[in-house]
């Protein structure tokens, strides 16, 4: 099955982020979108960034009211696609499992390990055709390359690659868990990228995680514990830098019309599969 672009799309790029991004868009308009999976975390806000039409959804809702295990990832991504979005940027705060990845480091991971449970992990969980999508490379190669190129050109290069392990939360890891994750060779730990990335793939969306390191995880190189206050302080101190990076990335991403399905493996994820329903 090849999925055409919507001629009536109102946005081409989506951003899933926190409350610090509410003022990110110019000429913003709010869209209340319903989906087969309920309502998104918040109404979507569509506006312009660098002359591009961008849709933003607050991952945790206004006031950060949804913990990571209760975010409606399926509704958020379905809603973005229904507005025409095909490329998604997903900034997130993460802990570091490696001594050289210090707070303030921006990492563009290329792999993910899912240790979440109890979340709705797929949009294809009803009766009908069984749908298995490939997920060997979880993140969009075009999006990753764009972030790396933009940050290098700005003299603030992001770290290229690394494995992000996603835990269920909302608690932080124990020291034993952190050491286990570090011993496995993983780079980062977070709470939101799964099933977000997998659902994006099920919707044939390009998905790129931009991870900001806010702390060293407990037990890593003698670090004792992680506190929410410290995480929020580092994130707040870097929000301007992260917004500037996103603006530059949005400006540099290839326009949808210049990046046909044939050129991106993310957009071909559903080719040849029989779907139980029509996607927006």
Give the total number of structural domains in the chain: 1
**What DSSP string runs through 65-111?**
-S-GGG--HHHHHHHHHHTT--EEEEEEEEEESSTTS-TT-EEE-SE
For residue 189, list its beta bridge partners.
95, 165
- Is 275 among the domain residues? no
pLDDT for residue 3: 40
- Is 279 among the domain residues? no
pLDDT digits (tens, 9 = 90+) for 197-222: 999 999 999 999 999 999 999 878 76
CATH of the domain at 143: 3.40.50.1580
- At residue 30, the 3 state secondary structure works out as strand
pLDDT digits (tens, 9 = 90+) for 230-251: 777 888 888 889 999 999 999 9
- Is 276 among the domain residues? no
CA 94 vs. chain centroid, Å, equals 12
Q: 10 Å Cβ neighbour count for 15? A: 28
Q: 10 Å Cβ neighbour count for 87? A: 31
- Is 32 among the domain residues? yes
- Is 2 among the domain residues? no
- Catalytic residue numbers read 215, 217
pTM of the model: 0.92
pLDDT for residue 124: 95
Domain assignment of residue 32, given as a range: 13-268
- Is 87 among the domain residues? yes
- Is 280 among the domain residues? no
- Is 222 among the domain residues? yes
pLDDT for residue 258: 56
d(CA 178, CA 211): 18
- 161 and 185 in contact (C-beta within 8 Å)? no
Per-residue pLDDT tens listing for the chain (280 residues): 334 445 456 899 999 997 567 677 888 889 999 999 999 999 999 999 999 999 999 998 888 899 999 999 999 999 999 999 999 999 999 999 999 999 999 999 999 999 999 999 999 998 777 899 999 999 999 999 999 999 999 999 999 999 999 999 999 999 999 999 999 999 999 999 999 999 999 999 999 999 999 999 987 876 667 777 777 788 888 888 999 999 999 999 988 655 554 478 999 999 999 999 999 9
């Amino acid at each position: 099955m090849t999925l055409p672009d919507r001629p009536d799309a109102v946005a081409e790029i989506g951003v899933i982020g926190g409350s610090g991004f509410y003022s990110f868009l110019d000429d913003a308009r709010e869209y209340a979108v319903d989906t087969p999976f309920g309502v998104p975390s918040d109404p979507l806000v569509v506006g312009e960034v660098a002359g591009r039409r961008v849709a933003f959804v607050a991952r945790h809702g206004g006031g950060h009211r949804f913990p990571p295990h209760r975010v409606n990832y399926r509704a958020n991504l379905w809603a973005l696609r229904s507005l025409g979005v095909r490329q998604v940027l997903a900034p997130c705060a993460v802990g570091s499992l490696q001594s050289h990845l210090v707070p303030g480091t921006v990492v563009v991971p290329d792999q993910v390990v899912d240790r979440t449970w109890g979340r709705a992990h797929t949009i294809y969980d009803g009766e009908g055709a069984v749908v298995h999508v490939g997920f060997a490379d979880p993140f969009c190669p075009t999006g990753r390359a764009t972030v790396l190129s933009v940050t290098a050109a700005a003299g603030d290069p992001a770290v290229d690659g690394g494995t992000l392990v996603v835990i269920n939360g909302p608690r932080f890891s124990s020291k034993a868990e952190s050491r286990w994750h570090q011993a496995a060779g993983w780079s980062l730990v977070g709470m939101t990228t799964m099933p977000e990335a997998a659902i994006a793939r099920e919707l044939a969306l390009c998905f790129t995680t931009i991870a900001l390191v806010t702390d060293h995880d407990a037990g890593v190189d003698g670090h004792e514990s992680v506190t929410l206050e410290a995480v929020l302080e580092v994130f707040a101190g870097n929000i301007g830098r992260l917004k500037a990076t996103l603006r530059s990335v949005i400006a540099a991403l290839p326009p949808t019309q210049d990046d046909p399905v044939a050129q991106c493996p993310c957009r071909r994820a559903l080719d040849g599969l029989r779907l139980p329903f029509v996607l927006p």
